[in-house]
Amino acid sequence: MTGFSDEKYDIAVIGAGHAGCEAALASARLGLKVLVLCVDLDSVALMACNPSIGGTSKGHLVREIDALGGEMGVAADECFIQMRMLNTGKGPAVHSLRAQMDKRRYHERMKAVLERTEGVTLRQDECSRVLTENGEVCGVETALGARYACSACVVCSGVYLNSRVHTGEYNRFRGPSGLANAPLLSASLGELGFELRRFKTGTPPRVASASLDYSRMEPQYGDVPIPHFSFMTDELLKEQVPCHLTYTNSRTHEIIRENLHRSPMYAGAIRATGTRYCPSIEDKIVKFADRDRHQLFIEPEGLSTDEMYVQGLSTSLPRDVQEAMLRTIPGMENSRIMRYGYAIEYDCIDPTELDASLMSRRVPGLFFAGQINGSSGYEEAAAQGIYAGLNAALRVKGEEPFILGRGDAYIGVLCDDLTVKGTNEPYRMMTCRAEYRMLLRQDNADLRLTEKARRTGLVSEERYARLMRKKDRVAKAFSSLDRAVPASPELDGLLASLGYSPVRGSVRLDTLLKRNGVGYTDLMRLYDLPDVGREAVDEVEAEALYGGYIKRQEEEIRKLRRLEDELIPEEIDYMTITNLRTEARQKLSAIRPRDLGRASRISGVSPADIAVLSVYIKAFSKEDRNEDAR
């Protein structure tokens, strides 16, 4: 390779946020030489918004990242200051773990992992251009004039790409938390043919803890015993820090309404598209005018700072308005703002330009992960990061890509939604997006993914051994439940406490476990059942409770995979298939799905179009075989 005076790498990762960290670590752990370029090393794994990891559906993503051999779950278990399982009043399919983080410690820990991982070079510099040769990635160029050769590149630019922040009438081109932005790469992506879009997100003010009156708020405590994200974590013992709950009120809303004309969103200064599922307080007041209050969670940003994050009060209103509305909130009457809230707009691409591995179809070897793809959230970014980094490494090594489908993982749903359906607003993962969520629970992420990922080399022997032990414990528990027991006063007492009628004659233990409220540990107290550990118990209880639903979803997944097994030849010219509707021809030509399953999920492609395409593929393949025979 000529023209490269600086070091040569296998993979260049642009950005070191949550996507960049996972992408770099995945690539390096597969034995490749990785360069990580970051505009500011103080922004590595920065939590520029909420100082937390996990939450509804997001906790599933963290568990899946961990099951694949990623870092986020392990780091969260080390750096949390409060841990809570959400949605415990609902079924196991929507249980999701959420952890309040010590954000500085999390940054320092992730940066240290990058620094100490063999094969990773972490460097503070801005990527200005992606270089190509014969249409494929061959290197990157930086603002400081360096030119690094590489065989693949993963762009993980977060919200830094040509970003602009707004607080009231004030606005500047810069990154989050007062950091520098990355204005140079956008032009290079445009030259490569990518159409850039502008999305927006925001963050609330941070206030001094000493200025708050917590006696006027409701404390929110962590769970005991403490749950954990990583399947490699055995037990967590730590004193947890409480969060607090308070509410806005009519006076708060009045101040906001009186100053809407000073909001850059409503004044027209921001034209970028904002996130639907994490609205600003201005949006809440306008769109939910009938609500007399909105809840706010006061969350510590760490053990070494007095800053408190006001979750639920994301805003870009002017400084004086932020101060006035905060002082109307119970417990915050004397609050002192340490950092003002702001909105930030940034460049991103249309993710339908990517294939199922998150690689550009336009520029082979160029991968994208995180908010550059139109998603929002640390967990969504990290999930795409490990996925893109792993696939970039496999491509460099000449191996087949690692593809997860909608029936495999929330990561599969996330990447499929982005690359097939696309998004016109910042995309957020939600449990309702997963059609097979009974199967895709957080408790079984290792059972679903660890063995599948083992062929890539990213799964350690220790992790695989833990999986095998868990599978053995689950099998042992199910075996012990495979019997009938006679009625007894003790069993009738248990059932009566849960509102069930007494047993007549005998009953199978596995049938008892199907009853809502009956747990494996309840049955352990009455019968000789093995103690298999909490993780195996969660799996056994979920499988017993949802057995019928799970079987139906497994059949649906088998049907889906039959469609996904029907690959579409890359050279097909959709515009010549006259029996397809015009919209279908245009959408299929633009997205170029790899199989009928992905084609069927494209907006504007009907079941009738899929039937036509299936017949065409069979005829096309037969013609190819006949051509080969001649």
Domain for residue 498, yes or no? Answer: yes
**589 and 526 co-located in one domain:** no
Domain for residue 470, yes or no? Answer: no
Could you tell me what percent of the chain has a pLDDT over 90? 85
CATH of the domain at 622: 1.10.150.570
**154 and 198 co-located in one domain:** yes
**337 and 351 co-located in one domain:** no
State the Cα–Cα distance between residues 610 and 160, nearest whole angstrom. Answer: 40
Domain for residue 464, yes or no? Answer: no
Domain for residue 469, yes or no? Answer: no
Domain for residue 6, yes or no? Answer: no
CATH of the domain at 492: 1.10.10.1800
In this prediction, residue 1 carries a pLDDT of 46
**404 and 305 co-located in one domain:** no
C-beta of residue 299 within 8 angstroms of C-beta of residue 51: yes
Beta strands in 70-119 (DSSP E): 80-86, 96-101
State the Cα–Cα distance between residues 510 and 480, nearest whole angstrom. Answer: 9
State the Cα–Cα distance between residues 485 and 490, nearest whole angstrom. Answer: 12
Cis omega before residue 225 (within 30°)? Answer: yes
Of 325, 343, 361, which one is at a domain's C-terminal end?
343
**229 and 357 co-located in one domain:** no
**52 and 179 co-located in one domain:** yes
Domain for residue 561, yes or no? Answer: no
Of 504, 531, 553, which one is at a domain's C-terminal end?
553
Contacts of 358 (CB under 8 A, 6+ apart): 367, 368, 369, 373, 384, 387, 388, 391, 415, 419
**358 and 442 co-located in one domain:** yes
**192 and 64 co-located in one domain:** yes
**364 and 420 co-located in one domain:** yes
Q: How far apart are the first and last CA of the chain?
A: 40
Structural domain count, the chain: 4
pLDDT means per 10 residues, the chain with 630 residues, are 77 98 98 98 96 96 98 98 94 93 98 98 98 97 97 98 96 95 97 96 97 98 96 94 98 96 89 84 93 97 97 97 98 98 97 96 97 97 98 98 96 96 94 93 96 96 97 96 94 94 93 93 95 94 89 90 88 90 91 90 89 87 56
Domain for residue 5, yes or no? Answer: no
Of 296, 319, 343, which one is at a domain's C-terminal end?
343
C-beta of residue 417 within 8 angstroms of C-beta of residue 423: yes
For 446-505, write each residue's pLDDT tens digit.
999 999 999 999 999 999 999 999 999 999 999 999 999 999 999 999 999 999 999 989
In this prediction, residue 271 carries a pLDDT of 84
Q: Look up residue 107 and give its two tokens.
A: 């940054």
> 546 lies in which domain range?
477-553
Q: How far is residue 47 from each of residues 140, 175, 258, 409, 430, measured CA to CA in Å?
A: 27, 13, 32, 25, 20
**299 and 333 co-located in one domain:** yes
Helix/strand/coil for 457: coil
CATH of the domain at 174: 3.50.50.60
Give the global pTM. Answer: 0.94
Domain for residue 247, yes or no? Answer: yes
Specify the pairing of strand 307-311 against strand 295-300: antiparallel
Q: Any bridge partners for residue 88, and if so which?
A: none
**210 and 186 co-located in one domain:** no
**16 and 140 co-located in one domain:** yes
Helix/strand/coil for 619: helix
Please name the residue that has the structure tokens 């997963």.
434
CATH of the domain at 227: 2.40.30.260
Q: Any bridge partners for residue 309, and if so which?
A: 206, 299
